[in-house]
């Protein structure tokens, strides 16, 4: 088995799929890339059993097609050192010895048998939908930070994907915060609901090009989902279980409405939070008239901070505590100049909404639970 390929093209492809590699796997073969060479194509695959991702390349020369697993870390490390030049990889299929020739260098390592590599799942009885790549990347960026890490509630460690023919909804929550990202400009046939795991989505949001013309094909059945774009094909196992009824926890009666500049509030929160408690991350919001006062203190270290902001507010005077880290995460992922915060009581969840036009196809709602105020 032998092929010649551009070093930069190979490195770029390896980096696209290396994010799913597992460094703590009990199966050594999962620390390898699977190379499959045909007459005119090179397919490289990485897997952690739950997620499998493949990339296809066009080698400059290919002879003696074959399949072999090559240690990923060693290959990535050597490829990162090369400038743009042709690389020849030759594999002795009897001994599984791998030789790599680049410029004046010759490098040897040992590959592994391909039959040890996990079988790539084939999907049956699937349905599919085409989604714009920038919409998908945006949805993952806006929701993933709100997923949970509780192993006892695995459904909350993923992102719920709901389709009902008229709209596409992504939801993430860890019981302290919740994000509902909805698009009304994506059409699909029929309804579906499934939970996508966090790890492959985190990887996907880093490699999906932010290209308005890119179409991503999402195929799914009861157990797996496949996402395909450009030369990438990712298969992930869906999280089994019933997602909480998120609509039931979103309060609908929120008479107190605060409107404030997003960047000014975000920067003020960053400053004030430095002086607050490192265990509760509590920042107190005191709102009256056109004034918002942020305060935080850490009694153990005798540190405190207070900052006044101008705002637009409708409702009774209110004092409410929020977790500054959660609030910063939310404000940091939004993009509008102004945000609206809707509240009803100091012990009820607050709703954060970007200030967008009524006909905007993107509908984002963020919910944050209050922190009990310490006197």
pLDDT digits (tens, 9 = 90+) for 258-286: 999 999 999 999 999 999 988 889 999 99
pLDDT of residue 325: 95
Strands (E) across 210-332 are located at 215-220, 224-229, 232-237, 256-261, 282-288, 291-298, 303-310, 312-314, 318-323
Percent helix, percent strand, percent coil in the chain, to nearest 5: 25, 45, 35
CATH 3.10.150.10 region(s) of the chain? 2-116, 127-166+185-241, 250-371
Q: Could you tell me the two tokens for 189?
A: 């046939």
Sheet holding 86-92, edge to edge: 61-63, 2-6, 86-92, 97-102, 105-110
CA distance linking residue 35 with residue 10, whole number of Å:
12
Name the CA dihedral angle for 287, 289, 291, 292, rounded to a multiple of 10 degrees.
20
CATH fold of 2-116: DNA Polymerase III; Chain A, domain 2 (3.10.150)
* pLDDT at residue 321, rounded to an integer: 95
Closest CA to 328 of 123, 145, 68, 55: 145
The first and second tokens of residue 355, run together, are 């200030």
Write down the CATH number for the domain with range 127-166+185-241: 3.10.150.10
Q: What is the pLDDT of residue 374?
A: 67
Cβ(221)–Cβ(127) under 8 Å? Answer: yes
Using 70 as the pLDDT threshold, list the residues of the chain that sit under it: 212, 374-375
Condensed to tens digits (0 to 9), the pLDDT of residues 33-51 reads 999 999 889 999 999 988 9
Which tokens hold the place of 163?
């389709």
CATH of domain 250-371: 3.10.150.10
Exposure string over 261-272, b if 16+ CB within 10 A, otherwise e: bbebbbebbeeb
How many residues are recorded in the chain? 375
Task: Report how far apart, in Å, the C-alpha atoms of 272 and of each of 297, 302, 347 are.
Answer: 9, 14, 22
Q: What is the structure's pLDDT at 4? A: 95
Q: Which pLDDT score, from 0 to 100, does residue 305 have?
A: 95
Judging by beta carbons within 10 Å of its beta carbon (0-12, 13-18, 19+), is residue 322 exposed, middle or buried?
Answer: buried
Q: Cβ distance 328 to 319 under 8 Å?
A: no
- Measured torsion, CA atoms of residues 235, 241, 247, 250, in degrees rounded to the nearest 10: -100
Q: Tokens representing 272? A: 């004030």
């Amino acid at each position: 088995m032998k092929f010649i390929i551009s070093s930069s093209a190979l490195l770029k492809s390896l980096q696209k799929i290396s994010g799913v590699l597992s460094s703590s796997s009990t199966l050594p073969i999962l620390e390898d890339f699977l190379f499959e060479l045909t007459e005119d194509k090179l397919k490289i695959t990485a897997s952690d059993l739950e997620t499998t991702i493949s990339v296809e390349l066009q080698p400059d020369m290919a002879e003696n097609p074959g399949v072999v697993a090559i240690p990923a870390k060693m290959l990535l490390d050597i490829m990162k050192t090369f400038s743009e030049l042709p690389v020849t990889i030759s594999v002795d299929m009897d001994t599984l010895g791998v030789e790599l020739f680049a410029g004046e260098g010759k490098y040897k390592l040992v590959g592994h048998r391909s039959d040890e590599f996990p079988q790539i799942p084939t999907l049956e009885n699937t349905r599919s939908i085409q989604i714009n790549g920038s919409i998908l990347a945006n949805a993952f960026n806006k929701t993933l930070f709100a997923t949970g890490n509780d192993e006892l509630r695995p459904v909350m460690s993923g992102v719920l994907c709901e389709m009902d023919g008229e709209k596409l909804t992504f939801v993430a929550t860890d019981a302290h915060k919740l994000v509902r990202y909805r698009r009304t400009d994506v059409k699909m046939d029929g309804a579906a609901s499934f939970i996508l795991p966090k790890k492959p989505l985190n990887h996907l949001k880093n490699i999906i090009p932010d290209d308005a013309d890119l179409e991503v094909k999402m195929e799914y059945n009861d157990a797996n989902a496949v996402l395909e774009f450009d030369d990438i094909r990712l298969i992930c196992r869906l999280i089994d279980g019933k997602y909480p009824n998120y609509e039931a926890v979103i309060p609908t009666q929120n008479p107190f409405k605060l409107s404030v500049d997003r960047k000014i509030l975000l920067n003020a929160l960053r400053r004030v939070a430095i002086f607050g408690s490192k265990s509760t991350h509590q920042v107190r919001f005191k709102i009256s008239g056109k004034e918002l006062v942020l305060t935080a203190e850490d009694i153990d270290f005798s540190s405190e901070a207070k900052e006044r902001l101008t705002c637009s507010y409708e409702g009774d005077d209110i004092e409410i505590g929020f977790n500054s880290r959660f609030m910063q995460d939310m404000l940091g992922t939004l993009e509008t100049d102004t945000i609206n915060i809707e509240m009803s009581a100091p012990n009820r969840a607050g709703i954060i909404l970007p200030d967008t036009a009524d006909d905007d196809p993107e509908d984002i709602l963020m919910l944050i639970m209050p922190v009990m105020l310490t006197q």
